[in-house]
């Protein structure tokens, strides 16, 4: 069973806080929670909304159809009324809704409440949104205990504000008595080891747990959340977040940190990542460990700043001039984002090369409940030589030729009798500039050997879900993972044999699982971009042509129904 509510209004109306508090109450009550954000690139006005989907089973995708619309302004009713179910309810922020509901929506209940008046009575206009929390809990048949705890925690720093919010909550609960609609919730009990987290937080947490000590970045939506996560905790963690003057400085600072022996990371969205690409190649030739997160938004150039797309894939793989080793990971959900970021930081140090994490706005802003991450399953890979080894070195070669292409890694000052020289020019084993053909070829080969080793030791095949024999095989990468899972289930309920293959590691491209599963089925690529970039990557790397491509590039994430409908229409029927 799942249940959907949407909170809609304009920027500046406190939607974020309302969404956070509601999600937390539902989460703490024991529900599975999945909340997404749809917002405009502005500080005030416009139209923003947040959807909270919750229930007693795991949820992996957003849904369009809503049980409850909480409309903080008139525009919210106008825009969202069609998506409210016949037996749903619209809660309107005002004395009464003065607009006309469209004909097909006439029978839907609309419950109006002038929360501002109630808030003023309590003594603080800003508690108006909390009145609606009370209303919702009444309609859902939930008691106020958990809500009072959550509000108490949220406003713990100001006793009077906390009290007024709890008053507002109770008032809303009472006022909703007169609304006709009531919803029956399944029995759930709070679970101990669960966390509520979004994609950006998961990446920030993965970085911190991986021992990242320095994060340098320039703010850019929708990647800023990673920076905010780490900056907020930098004092507790004893690490540094520095706001760079531009993205070129951001990546170069991180490379300087990494060269100096600390785990360093940078992040941006496509525009900022574009500025970083020369330095990306530098990390490649100079063999400096570096983790970069690109939280994608629709491009090119400024594109749609607050929306989602998966269209930086081929660019990320091909960014920067020249041939050099690079790894690209498309993270699938908040859980994957945490573990993959952890892994990326460690692989960057193991292979002394750049690793790019591709996320997107959809994943960045989607908050979900998860089983708490298990830290004792994680192993730190230490790529640097030990201090004891360092003491014995008198002629350190940063780029020493070795069997697997990986040279012993030391940082400046680690060896008292030797220095560390790195270079963006082609260089010899010591890091000195060279011009000769022989050394050039040997160094290109050395760097390439690292990728061969990575493919053998660390590349992860895509995850497969479904029966062994399939009629249809869905293929995706990155954040479409959740919607694809639900779409697969919907198709299965219709009686089809459907498999789902989703990639996190996209470069180098793992091909074994794909080659094993692609024959004797109808393959369908589903991507959140206009030109099916992953499909093109697969065909250029393997010669495999998928049978159907389903794409979406309106800046919005997929719902499961959209994928299901597209497959029914374009493939099955």
Rounded to the nearest 5 degrees, what angle is found at the Cα of 485, between the Cα atoms of 481 and 486?
125
- Computed from CA positions of residues 117, 121, 124, 126, in that sequence, does the dihedral angle turn out positive or negative? negative
Shortest Å, Cβ 238 to other proteins: 5
Distance separating alpha carbons of residues 119 and 169, to the nearest angstrom:
10
Q: Is residue 376 part of the contact set for other proteins (CB under 8 A)?
A: yes
Shortest Å, Cβ 379 to other proteins: 8
Q: Nearest Cα to 398, choosing from 264, 259, 254?
A: 259
Q: Is residue 279 part of the contact set for other proteins (CB under 8 A)?
A: yes
Q: Which of 194, 274, 439, 521 binds other proteins (CB under 8 A)?
A: 194
Q: Is residue 143 part of the contact set for other proteins (CB under 8 A)?
A: no
Q: Where are the alpha helices (DSSP H) in 63-193?
A: 74-80, 115-122, 128-140, 145-154, 159-175
CA dihedral 360, 366, 370, 372 (to 10 degrees): 70
Q: Is residue 378 part of the contact set for other proteins (CB under 8 A)?
A: yes
DSSP letter (8 states) at residue 384? B
DSSP letter (8 states) at residue 563? H
Q: Is residue 399 part of the contact set for other proteins (CB under 8 A)?
A: no
* Residues 202-221 interacting with other proteins (rule: CB under 8 A): 205, 208-211, 213-214, 216
Q: Nearest Cα to 115, choosing from 73, 69, 78?
A: 73
Q: What x-and-dash track marks residues 355-374 binding other proteins by CB under 8 A?
A: -----------------xx-
Which residue, 37 or 263, has its beta carbon nearer to other proteins? Answer: 263
Shortest Å, Cβ 232 to other proteins: 10
Which residue, 238 or 495, has its beta carbon nearer to other proteins? Answer: 238
Which residue, 365 or 562, has its beta carbon nearer to other proteins? Answer: 365
CB 470 within 8 A of CB 492: no
Distance separating alpha carbons of residues 227 and 268, to the nearest angstrom:
9
* Residues 74-103 interacting with other proteins (rule: CB under 8 A): none
* Residues 286-315 interacting with other proteins (rule: CB under 8 A): 286
Which residue, 138 or 343, has its beta carbon nearer to other proteins? Answer: 343
Phi, psi of 463 (to 5 degrees): -85, 135
Shortest Å, Cβ 555 to other proteins: 28
Q: What x-and-dash track marks residues 27-46 binding other proteins by CB under 8 A?
A: --------------------
Distance separating alpha carbons of residues 290 and 294, to the nearest angstrom:
13
- Could you tell me which stretch among 43-51, 195-203, 484-492, 495-503 binds other proteins (CB under 8 A)? 195-203
* Residues 417-446 interacting with other proteins (rule: CB under 8 A): 417-425, 431-433
Shortest Å, Cβ 201 to other proteins: 7
Q: Is residue 189 part of the contact set for other proteins (CB under 8 A)?
A: no
Longest C-alpha distance within the chain, in Å?
A: 85
CB 478 within 8 A of CB 361: no
Pairing of strands 214-217, 264-268: parallel
Shortest Å, Cβ 193 to other proteins: 8
């Amino acid at each position: 069973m799942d249940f959907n509510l949407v909170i809609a209004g304009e920027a500046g109306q406190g939607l974020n806080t309302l969404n956070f508090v509601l999600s937390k109450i539902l989460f703490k009550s024991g529900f599975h929670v999945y909340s997404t954000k749809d917002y405009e690139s502005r500080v005030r006005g416009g139209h923003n909304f947040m959807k909270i989907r919750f229930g007693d089973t795991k949820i992996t995708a957003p849904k369009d159809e809503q049980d409850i619309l909480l409309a903080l302004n008139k525009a919210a009713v106008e825009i969202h009324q069609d998506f409210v179910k016949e037996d749903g309810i619209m809660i309107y922020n005002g004395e009464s809704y003065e607009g006309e509901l469209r004909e097909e929506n006439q029978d839907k209940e609309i419950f109006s409440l002038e929360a501002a008046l109630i808030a003023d009575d309590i003594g603080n206009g800003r508690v108006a949104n909390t009145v609606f929390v009370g209303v919702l809990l009444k309609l859902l048949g939930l008691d106020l205990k958990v809500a009072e705890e959550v509000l108490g925690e949220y406003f713990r720093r100001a006793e009077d504000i906390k009290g007024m919010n709890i008053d507002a909550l109770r008032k809303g609960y009472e006022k909703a008595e007169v609304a006709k609609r009531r919803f029956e919730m399944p029995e759930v009990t709070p679970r101990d080891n669960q966390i509520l987290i979004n994609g950006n937080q998961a990446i920030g947490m993965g970085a911190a747990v991986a021992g990242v000590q320095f994060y340098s970045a320039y703010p850019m939506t929708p990647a800023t959340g990673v920076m905010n996560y780490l900056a907020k905790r930098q004092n507790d963690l004893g690490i540094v977040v520095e706001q760079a003057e531009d993205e070129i400085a951001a990546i170069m600072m991180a490379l300087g940190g990494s060269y100096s022996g600390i785990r360093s990371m940078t992040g941006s969205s496509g525009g900022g990542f574009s500025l970083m690409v020369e330095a990306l190649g530098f990390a490649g030739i100079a063999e400096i460990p570096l983790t970069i997160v690109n939280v994608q938004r629709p491009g090119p150039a400024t594109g749609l700043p607050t929306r989602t797309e998966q269209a930086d894939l081929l660019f990320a793989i091909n960014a920067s001039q020249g041939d050099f080793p690079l790894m690209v990971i498309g993270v699938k959900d908040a859980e994957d984002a945490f573990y993959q970021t952890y892994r990326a930081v460690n692989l960057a140090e193991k292979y002394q090369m750049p690793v790019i994490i591709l996320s997107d706005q959809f994943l960045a802003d989607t908050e979900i409940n998860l089983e708490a991450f298990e830290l004792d399953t994680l192993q730190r890979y230490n790529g640097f030589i030990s201090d004891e080894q360092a003491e014995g070195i008198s002629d350190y070669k940063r780029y020493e030729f070795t069997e697997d292409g990986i040279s012993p890694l030391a940082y400046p000052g680690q060896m008292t009798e030797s220095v560390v020289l790195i270079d963006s020019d082609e260089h010899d084993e010591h890091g000195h500039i060279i011009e000769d053909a022989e050394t050039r070829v040997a160094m290109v080969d050395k760097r390439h050997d690292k990728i061969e080793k990575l493919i053998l030791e660390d590349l992860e095949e895509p995850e497969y879900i479904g029966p062994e024999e399939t009629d249809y095989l869905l293929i995706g990468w990155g954040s479409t993972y959740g919607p694809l899972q639900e779409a697969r289930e919907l198709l299965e309920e219709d009686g089809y044999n459907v498999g789902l293959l989703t990639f996190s590691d996209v470069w180098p491209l793992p091909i074994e699982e794909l080659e094993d599963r692609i024959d004797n089925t109808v393959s369908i690529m589903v991507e959140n971009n206009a030109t099916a970039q992953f499909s093109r990557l697969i065909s250029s790397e393997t010669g495999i042509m998928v049978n159907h491509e389903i794409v979406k590039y309106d800046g919005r994430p997929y719902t499961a129904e959209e994928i299901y409908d597209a497959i029914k229409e374009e493939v099955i029927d």
